[in-house]
Amino acid sequence: MNTSRIDEVKKQLGKPTEEGVNQVDGGWFLLYQAGDNMLILDAADAQSPIEKIRVINKKMVEENLQKF
């Protein structure tokens, strides 16, 4: 398993669009935005290894929400 940490990711990808405490689970997150895409990386805290990576396309989310 990859053990990349928040600080290592920031060195590679640069300053995130947003960063901070996740209000849902209290962990730490980095959010990078590129056009309609968001890359979200989650860790237990700012010094911990990355636990989860999500790629979200905002247009797809908006289109799916309109269907309901």
Residue 19 in any domain: the answer is: yes
Host H or E run for residue 7: helix 6-13
Residue 24 in any domain: the answer is: yes
Residue 1 in any domain: the answer is: no
- Residues 10-54 pLDDT 10s: 999 999 999 999 999 999 999 999 999 999 999 999 999 999 999
| Total tally of structural domains belonging to the chain | 1
- pTM to 2 decimal places: 0.81
CATH number at residue 12: 3.10.450
Provide the phi-psi class of 26: left if phi over 0, else alpha when psi is between -120 and 50, else beta: left
pLDDT score of 57 more than 60: yes
Residue 54 in any domain: the answer is: yes
Structural domain that includes position 45 = 6-66
